[in-house]
Amino acid sequence: MKRELKFDLDAVFVEDGCADSALATRVLQSIPRDVPVTHIADAREAARPESGAPDPFGAGKRRLVIARRKTPFLMPCPAGSSKFACCGYLVLTLASNCPMDCSYCFLQEYLADNPAFQVYANFADSFDELDRLCANAHGRTFRVGTGELADSLAFDSITSISRDLIDFFSARENLTLELKTKTDEIENLLAMDPRGRVLVSWTLSPDVVYRSSEHLTASPAARIAAARAVLDAGYRVAFHFDPLIAYPDAERDYLLLIDELLDVVPPNQISFISMGGLRMTPRLRGAARGRFPNDPKLCGEDVLSADGRFRTFTPLRLSLYRTLAERFKKASATIPAYLCMEPASVHEHVFGATPARPATIGERLARS
């Protein structure tokens, strides 16, 4: 069935050997008739930046490439580091890049050399990797997400990969799937039974940040409404306040956003929250400011920190963390919370406690 897409799609490329895959069939049946489809020998050609385009990264987001993934699907979260108090997240890379366009998105640097939106025809091979992980893990529980190098649901209306994932994870006691999104693309989810094994998480920002910086995403109100709908359908839900952006009325706006969230989603039904400050390497900062020269949220008070990233001036960042953490604690003292890409000292300052080891946090979040 042809679908009306929420995102622009200029072209589809299908790598040789993928044309008969279930994924290619689904995509080609769903895209509008006027989107040109080209068969190519090597997907890397179509994934590269378009030479001569005024915004090669933006143009890449509008090209969909169906390819075979030749490297493992499962890996530790690339944001993880021994310098940070990490959350033990495992990343399943089933797609690369995202049709939405947040001005601060780290993919502008990470995927600068291959910006096309890629989906992997052999994605079901990832299930073998996950079964091998479980077979060797002796009773451990893992939280596995697909939303690190792509939004988990952005093109789900044409790939329907969420259905395969939910089928797989709903039958695995020691795995929790996290679908991370800024969309309200939940139609496939509502047709499935997650059996308690699937968590859907939304990144939330105040309306003013959504308008200035989160282009083509669903509005914060639409994300919260979608969270309520999947909660009622048996999914667990979580929320990421990341990046937290410090601007003159930020504290007021984030508290209003939390009130709006808690009016719709009861605090005792939130599996966890995460927070992370705006952080950009010099290369990302240059790329972001070049692509979005009028976004004031990219020009706050930041300093170059020891890990080589520009971060919001520490007192501003810590004050925002504490304000949000206290608001959630007031709503329910038992909502698990963690910080993304922050050292243990910041964690202690915000939560008044030493963070647990990444693997322990990962297991707790997978079960919560």
Minimum CB separation of residue 360 from ligand SF4 in Å reads 27
Q: How many CA atoms lie within 13 A of 148 on its CB side?
A: 21
Minimum CB separation of residue 170 from ligand SF4 in Å reads 25
Interface pattern 262-301 for ligand SF4 (x via CB under 6 A): ----------------------------------------
Q: Give the binding-site size for ligand SF4 (rule: CB under 6 A).
A: 9
| Closer to ligand SF4 by Cβ: residue 160 or 213 | 213
| Tally of residues, the chain | 368
| Closer to ligand SF4 by Cβ: residue 124 or 216 | 216
| Closer to ligand SF4 by Cβ: residue 49 or 267 | 49
**Rounded Cα gap, residues 210 and 191, in angstroms:** 29
Residue found by looking up tokens 């698990």 in the block? 336
The two counts, helices (H) then strands (E), for the chain are 15, 18
Residue 207's SS3 state is helix
Q: Is the dihedral of CA 184, 185, 191, 193 positive or negative?
A: negative
| Closer to ligand SF4 by Cβ: residue 151 or 164 | 151
Q: Name the nearest CA neighbour of 31 among 10, 53, 3.
A: 3
Q: Which two structure tokens, joined as six digits, stand for 162?
A: 């969420």
Q: Out of 107, 130, 265, 298, point to the residue binding ligand SF4 (CB under 6 A).
A: 107
| Closer to ligand SF4 by Cβ: residue 18 or 200 | 200
Residue 182 near ligand SF4 by CB under 6 A: yes
**Rounded Cα gap, residues 192 and 277, in angstroms:** 34
| Closer to ligand SF4 by Cβ: residue 98 or 273 | 98
The C-alpha angle with vertex 367 and arms to 347 and 346, in degrees rounded to 5, equals 5
Show contacts with ligand SF4 in window 128-157 (CB under 6 A).
151
Q: Which two structure tokens, joined as six digits, stand for 21?
A: 């895959």
Minimum CB separation of residue 294 from ligand SF4 in Å reads 17
17 neighbors 68 (Cβ within 8 angstroms): yes
| Closer to ligand SF4 by Cβ: residue 182 or 297 | 182
**Rounded Cα gap, residues 186 and 177, in angstroms:** 15
Q: Which residues of 220-231 are buried (b: 16+ CB within 10 A; e: fewer)?
A: beebbebbbbbb
The C-alpha angle with vertex 284 and arms to 278 and 285, in degrees rounded to 5, equals 65
67 DSSP β-pair partners: 120
**Rounded Cα gap, residues 65 and 84, in angstroms:** 34
| Closer to ligand SF4 by Cβ: residue 21 or 203 | 203
Show contacts with ligand SF4 in window 47-106 (CB under 6 A).
98, 100-102, 105
DSSP readout, 33-45? TTS-EEEES-HHH
Minimum CB separation of residue 274 from ligand SF4 in Å reads 14
Minimum CB separation of residue 111 from ligand SF4 in Å reads 10
Minimum CB separation of residue 236 from ligand SF4 in Å reads 20
Minimum CB separation of residue 41 from ligand SF4 in Å reads 29
Minimum CB separation of residue 86 from ligand SF4 in Å reads 19
Minimum CB separation of residue 100 from ligand SF4 in Å reads 4
| Closer to ligand SF4 by Cβ: residue 85 or 107 | 107
Residues that bind ligand SF4 (CB under 6 A): 98, 100-102, 105, 107, 151, 182, 217
